[in-house]
């Protein structure tokens, strides 16, 4: 992309970065999810993958609507979060069971919070640019992520963390 010289340029650049972040998170969850031992956690991770795919489709459409090339901009922030997740869940994980499930939830939530922040930022940019439909759709995506994060917190607090504490 050419040098960013306007909020519109920054908006598109951030959309492309988020697309990359989503793709990286989706690929990470494909590898991490099978490690889960809690059935509800596994189900939630599979549902998260579907949500990520929907949000990625939204990002592609918003980029295209700006008349820009529909291409990703590599997201180094998510790259770091994915490396950290792999370290804690795949490379040097806790023993299988509730402690591993707690680690999976922690890593999932770190990546999700990155997405919440990014989507919230581009929603604010869209509002400032008077791209009201974009802003609405992006805010809906943020709401989806908040909801998924809250459900994951509830699972952690009601079951997984308690089980892990008993190990």
Alpha helix segments (H runs only) across 33-131: 39-65, 76-86, 98-128
Structure tokens at 9: 């340029």
CATH class of 7-166: mainly alpha
The pTM for the full model equals: 0.94
Output the average pLDDT for the chain.
96
* Rounded distance between C-alpha atoms, residue 109 and residue 77, angstroms: 14
- Residue 113 pLDDT grade (very low, low, confident, very high; cuts 50, 70, 90): very high
What's the pLDDT at 70? 84
Q: CB of 11 within 8 A of CB of 126?
A: yes
CB 26 within 8 A of CB 53: yes
Q: What is the CA radius of gyration of the chain?
A: 17
């Amino acid at each position: 992309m050419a040098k960013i010289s306007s909020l519109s340029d920054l908006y598109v650049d951030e959309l492309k970065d988020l697309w990359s972040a989503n793709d990286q998170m989706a690929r990470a969850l494909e590898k991490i999810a099978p490690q889960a031992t809690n059935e509800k956690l596994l189900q939630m991770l599979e549902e998260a993958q579907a949500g990520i795919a929907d949000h990625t489709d939204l990002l592609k459409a918003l980029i295209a609507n700006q008349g820009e090339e529909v291409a990703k901009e590599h997201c180094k922030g998510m790259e770091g979060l994915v490396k950290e997740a792999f370290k804690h869940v795949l490379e040097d994980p806790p023993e299988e069971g509730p402690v591993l499930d707690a680690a999976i939830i922690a890593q999932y939530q770190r990546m999700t919070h990155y997405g919440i922040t990014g989507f919230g930022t581009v929603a604010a940019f869209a509002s400032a640019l008077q791209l009201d439909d974009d802003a609405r759709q992006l805010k809906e995506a943020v709401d989806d992520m908040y909801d998924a994060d809250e459900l994951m917190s509830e699972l952690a607090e009601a079951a997984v963390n308690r089980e892990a504490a008993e190990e």
